[in-house]
Amino acid sequence: MKTPAQVSDDIERRLARSWADDAAREAGAAVEAAPLWPHDFPLGRARSADLAGRFGEVTLQVATWRNWARERGVELAEETRRVSGTEQTLPTHVHIHDIDSAARLVSSDWLERLQRARSRAKTLVDRFPNLDRPSKLLSATDNYSDTDFDLLLRAADWFAANAGTQAGLFTPRQVPVEGLHAKWLNTSQHLVRELAGLDDLGLLPPHPARIHFTYLDPEHLASGGRRHDSASVGDSIDLPYAPQVVLISENKDTSVGFPPLLGGVAVEGDGRGAAAHASFEWIRDAPVLAYWGDMDADGLEILNEFRAAGVPAASLFMDIDAYEKWERYGTNIDQNGKMLGPRTPRPVPHLTLAETELYAKLTSHEWTRFRRVEQERIPLRLALRALGALAVDLA
């Protein structure tokens, strides 16, 4: 026989499956799914032989269920069973009349959730009568605050009213709806589209990604050429010289301050922006191409992402040998002041064996040493020397 706690879990699972449909149906919307309330939740039915063998335990369970039901005003369905030659009345099901009764049994949070859902469902049905499935939108916005839900309604109203006249005029940041900001709209566009009845909100496309880089060639710099430059994906650019050595650096300071290097360009890695860098042929096809990031899990994952995107870079100081040499400068604190710890490793098929070995150690629960060695702790003159050695190896 199940315990009251187990049946409460069963009730909550059914609540989770039915609350949005129930609220939408009550608001007058058409709902395809059949109603899930009332419902009888089974307690389990033991064989007669089992009942006879542990009747004392069963008696205690029955008393527990009757007390539980009486205290909560819940109806128990019962049946008569013959046990060891006697007739015994045993509970078989908990009968829940409606979704409100279920919510009261589970928690006060569910009562508040139902009340909010009903209010929102009525608003949706009254204000957007052509909405196909209100229950789906209720579920998708269940974690929305009242402020965010109101913003969703107002944004949908604006886009529906202006679809024919304002298309292609605004970025997400520029839409003239009070309280709306770009991050919210970017994560809620699919809901705004559904509520407004539009396939497309007509927003301007995102700005193309941009990379920043530093020219290192001493002859170019001595002639008065610019030191810092940038390029947007999809835009044409003519570099003042054909790069012979390209170093992608995770840290901006490293890229900007890298020493002079004949035919060299230092590119800022910009975190996980591998796709942008891969779009530039002069980066992909550089005779010497290297990536230099922190010796930590993030840095090695980013290195893997660059290679996966089509940037065939060798790494600088990102393997187990480099870690052993520079571990004395390590840390277990991230850039936000939080402790670095173990984590579930991701697939990193584009790392070398030595890089993979370091990645496995840095993510392991057994690792007791530093989990990060920041690249800027390694002198730039040594990185310059390592690039020269890489050029010789590739020659």
- 230: β partners: 212
Report pLDDT for 96: 96
Tokens 């030191």 identify what position?
227
CB–CB of 266/249 below 8 Å? Answer: yes
Domain ranges of the chain: 4-106, 144-196, 210-394
Using CA atoms, how far apart are residues 180 and 148, in angstroms rounded to an integer?
A: 9
Hey, what are 162's tokens?
Answer: 């202006």
What digits encode the pLDDT tens for the residues 323-338? 999 999 999 998 888 9
Q: What tens-digit pLDDT sequence spans the chain (395 residues)?
A: 899 999 999 999 999 999 999 999 999 999 999 999 999 999 988 777 667 667 777 788 889 999 999 999 999 999 888 776 677 888 999 999 999 999 999 987 999 999 999 999 999 999 999 998 999 999 999 999 999 999 999 999 999 998 877 767 888 889 999 999 989 999 999 999 999 999 999 888 888 899 999 999 999 999 999 999 999 999 989 999 999 999 999 989 999 999 999 999 999 998 878 999 999 999 999 999 999 999 999 999 999 999 999 999 999 999 999 999 999 999 999 888 899 999 999 999 999 999 999 999 999 999 999 999 999 999 999 999 999 898 887 76
State the amino acid at position 34 in one-letter form. Answer: A
Hey, what are 269's tokens?
Answer: 């890695």
- Give the number of other Cβ atoms within 10 Å of residue 283's Cβ: 23
Using CA atoms, how far apart are residues 268 and 250, in angstroms rounded to an integer?
A: 6
Secondary-structure breakdown of the chain: helix, strand, coil percentages, each rounded to the nearest 5? 45, 15, 40
Tokens 């509520």 identify what position?
195
Nearest to 22 by CA among 97, 127, 132, 98: 98
Residue 213 three-state SS: strand
Nearest to 178 by CA among 200, 205, 158, 164: 158
CB–CB of 130/156 below 8 Å? Answer: no
Report pLDDT for 395: 61
CB within 8 Å of 92: residues ≥ 6 apart:
42, 43, 45, 76, 77, 78, 79
State the amino acid at position 169 in one-letter form. Answer: L
Using CA atoms, how far apart are residues 348 and 345, in angstroms rounded to an integer?
A: 8
* Alpha helices, H only, the chain: 4-26, 48-53, 55-72, 99-106, 108-127, 134-140, 146-162, 182-196, 218-222, 252-256, 274-278, 281-284, 297-308, 320-326, 353-363, 380-394
CB within 8 Å of 324: residues ≥ 6 apart:
none
Using CA atoms, how far apart are residues 300 and 308, in angstroms rounded to an integer?
A: 12
- 266: β partners: 214, 247
Exposure of 137 in the CB half-sphere (CA atoms within 13 A): 29
